Structure 1
Amino acid sequence: MKTKLIFKKADFILLLLALFISVNFYAQQNKTIKNIVLVHGAFVDGSGWEGIYKILAKKGYHVSVTQHTLLSFEEDVKAVNRIIDQQDGPCILVGHSYGGAIITIAGNNPKVAGLVYVAAHAPDEGESEADNGKIYPPAYKSLIKGQDGLDYINPEKFPDDFAGGVAKEKAKFMAVSQTPTADVAFHAIIKNPAWKVKPSWYVVAKSDKIINPDLERMYAKRAKSTAIEVEGASHCVYISHPNEVSNLIISASNLSK
């Protein structure tokens, strides 16, 4: 009787241990990542993320917004990595437009758990966003290349070409306050793209004039990203449709595909 009782106690302990391990594993697999790092693209700065920031912060996320110079791809990657390194744990890295190329490299940081591309470039090994843009030409014709090597968008065309769907006065202000971007940054050749080894999500802006929506679809399909398409959205989908973009970021924070 004593022997049988001992075996029963041992079986019970093993059952509890197995249950504890299973519950602990399940909790780890479903743990929400609370750190979000938002990376802006060319011709703008981090202030465009304000709507996304407010939505995520209200839901309890710790949100960081990068401010990089747009003068050097390598330096912009360093600036984003600096913010990633400041996170107290794993983070979801979000990039818009040229910021997508940045997170494709910075995403290799061990603290990055997933990548979210928002109407963004996601080049492969040996590619540049400039070359990919020639394969899938964009609709806009308002890019001005300065003699000093800095590019900007014609302010008169900016509201329609870049910021469709954004409030008129805000779009005009964005046009006159845009940050010129080094042309050489668009020609940076990608090495070791992070989307090949980390999960990704993608927002396709269906009315994007800056990046051809078909190029965005190609990026998303190639990276096996969980993708959404936003009807009527311009390149500024992150400003004009903050709820849709935020919802995808939240899905990424749960690592739900």
Structure 2
Amino acid sequence: MIEPNFSESQLQQAANAAFIMINGKSHNKWLFAHILSLSDEFFLGWDSAFYLDWLPYPALPDHAGCNFFLQYKLSNQYTSPGAAEWIHWKQEYLRFKIPHSAKDVSGKYIDDYHQWDSLKALAGKGYPTYYGTNATLFKSELELAYQADTLLKYVPLLDVRTVSGIHKHVTFTPTSANFKLHSDVEESPVFTLSAVIESLAQVQQTSIAEANERLLSELSEMNQNDVHWKTDIARIQQSFSQLPRRAIPWAKHQALRAFVRKHIGATMYWSSQNV
């Protein structure tokens, strides 16, 4: 086994910076990367997230107001025919592990899938949710690709929305079109960050009315024991019937902005292009 000569944080920094730059060029807007602490990452699942106002997915208030999620994992290279998954590739391959190693109450190490469960919950709602990993073992190659503005072509992504089973390891080669997930082998397409950006840019924009209803549905499921929360949600759901039909979406949008500011302490933005 050969480990990369850079850290997961280095991969995260380089890929996020390249992602921000390419979006700045294509949308004339500089994104803010939300990076979690390790404790928050344990509960939310992702380690980097962005709010892309041109996507048809409303911001999630309990996920830093984001709608695009990444979890970076370092892949090691396996070079021996004795490696566990060699039979599936019959050549050198790269592999990362999905679960964390954690101790149970007896002190025994177990595979902890809490992070996976959190990511799968986001993916289950349709949100773009990916594992990002490295296709090189060398920091110098990362740096050269970054400087050449080609790094995003070399960061393979696993779309969590495409995975049906629960797996321990993910394997691939630098040129493979699919990941293989193990133990019961499942295949999933290999995407790159650059390809994902291009495909997402073509996704049809949602209307403000549709986004309102999606966000209302998300908020209704949260804080079920908070009486004030439930009362304000019910007021938004039941109001505006006397307004002209054309005015309702923006009136409800303003009410949702006020709700998020009051109960969560965040400011919610939607681009006018989503009308």
Question: TM-score if structure 2 supplies the norm length?
Answer: 0.31
Q: Point out which structure has higher relative CO (alpha carbons under 8 A, 6+ apart).
A: 1
Question: TM-score if structure 1 supplies the norm length?
Answer: 0.33
